[in-house]
Amino acid sequence: MPVTLFLECETTGFHPTLGAEVVEVGVVNDAGQRVFYSLVRPSRRLARITKSIIGLTEAELRAAPRFAQVWPQLRRHLAGQEVVIWNAAFDRPFFPARMRCARKVVCAMRMFRQAYHTRHGVRPQPFIGFALEYLGKRRRRRMKERCVGYALEVRDVWGALRRATGSEL
């Protein structure tokens, strides 16, 4: 039976065509349970700026599997499911076939920005922290499995949006 999954990932840069890679990925389900988590060892060393943004170190990633080893298991979880990502336009290119294994991929940021624009006539900031605050939700404390925490925040925004709009998004 299809379920809604919430995915977040960290990358080494802005786009895979520029050599950026996934270094962490987390998935939770609609009940808030962790479905999948992995660190991912990139093929290149992390740039200093990347380390400061994502908060991961070379030492943490050294023992992690490569993305080619992580993808088959992750794909099994995503296949046929609805997957909600905060910034799907950014994250999808990092995954094989742009995650077409999923039944549907939805961008929570886009849905939030549309709902906010409809209500206020202006586009809001594209940051999840802004969306959480606006929707009366708190940022989650930083977890050891960072992307699981971020995926839970996406779930929080998605749930609040569904309640606020009174519909399935």
Q: Looking at the predicted structure, is the pLDDT value of residue 85 above 90?
A: yes
The alpha carbon dihedral of 2, 3, 6, 11 has a sign of: negative
Residue 95, SS3? coil
Cβ proximity of 94 and 11 under 8 Å: yes
Cβ proximity of 102 and 83 under 8 Å: yes
Mean pLDDT along residues 129-156: 92
Domain spans of the chain, in order of start:
4-161
Q: Looking at the predicted structure, is the pLDDT value of residue 48 above 80?
A: no
> What pLDDT score was predicted for residue 167?
58
The pTM of the whole model exceeds 0.85: yes
Alpha carbons 165 and 169: distance in angstroms, whole number: 8
* Fold classification of 4-161 (topology level): Nucleotidyltransferase; domain 5 (3.30.420)
Q: Looking at the predicted structure, is the pLDDT value of residue 56 above 90?
A: no
Q: Looking at the predicted structure, is the pLDDT value of residue 2 above 90?
A: no
Q: Band the pLDDT of 55: cuts 50, 70, 90.
A: confident
Q: Band the pLDDT of 169: cuts 50, 70, 90.
A: very low
